[in-house]
Amino acid sequence: MLIAGVLVQSTKGGPAIYGQTNSTLRLLGSGFNTTGARIVLVEEELQLNDDCDDFKDTDPFYLNPESDSVAMVSVVVALPAGVSEKTYYFCIKSDDDLHYMHQGTSKWLTLAVRKPPATTMLPLPLQVITLFFSFTPVCFSKWNKLYIKWACVLVLSMVLRICEEMFLHFVTVVQHF
């Protein structure tokens, strides 16, 4: 069995998915109709057909072959806390094989797993507008109490943080095209 390519939402470099979400990959190659065909993901950059039994970083994901050369597989990959992105390589095995075989380190045979974007109740532009118009009168009122000034600084820093998130989200969306 051999994986020649992977199709998912493509970004610069190789394919990428979000961690902790169910993603479907379409594998292109040969020999997928064998009994018990499955893949694991590894972080190790090994050579093509190297044994990767000792390097498995995920549980096996079983293939759903559409033909001998095309298979679908659903994967869910968890990212460790504090990690925003990891790159994985594919290893494949069937019931007839003794070991998982590494599929190489070509860009199109890697899988980048990224931290999912943060979700909020309101779209970010609406959050910025709401905070700005809610707290601007308080910040510039005739109340000169110190705690009001600190509240204004806190709110303005929140607005800046939301603007930063909007910018990072925009950059991520642009990179996907």
Q: What is the pLDDT of residues 130-144, one digit of tens each?
A: 777 666 665 666 555
Q: What is the pLDDT of residue 135?
A: 63
User: Predicted confidence band at 82 (pLDDT cuts at 50, 70, 90)?
Assistant: confident
User: Predicted confidence band at 10 (pLDDT cuts at 50, 70, 90)?
Assistant: very low
Q: What is the pLDDT of residue 12?
A: 47
Residue count (the chain): 177
Listed as own residue / partner, the contacts of 125-129 with beta carbons closer than 8 Å and 24 or more positions apart are 125/166, 127/162, 128/159, 128/162, 128/163, 128/166
Half-sphere exposure of 118 (CA within 13 A, CB side): 14
Q: Is the pLDDT of residue 170 over 80?
A: no
Q: Does domain 2-114 have CATH number 2.60.40?
A: yes
User: Predicted confidence band at 3 (pLDDT cuts at 50, 70, 90)?
Assistant: confident
User: Predicted confidence band at 4 (pLDDT cuts at 50, 70, 90)?
Assistant: confident
105-109, 148-152, 160-164: range with lowest mean pLDDT: 148-152
Query: pTM here?
Result: 0.64
Report domain extents, the chain. 2-114, 124-176
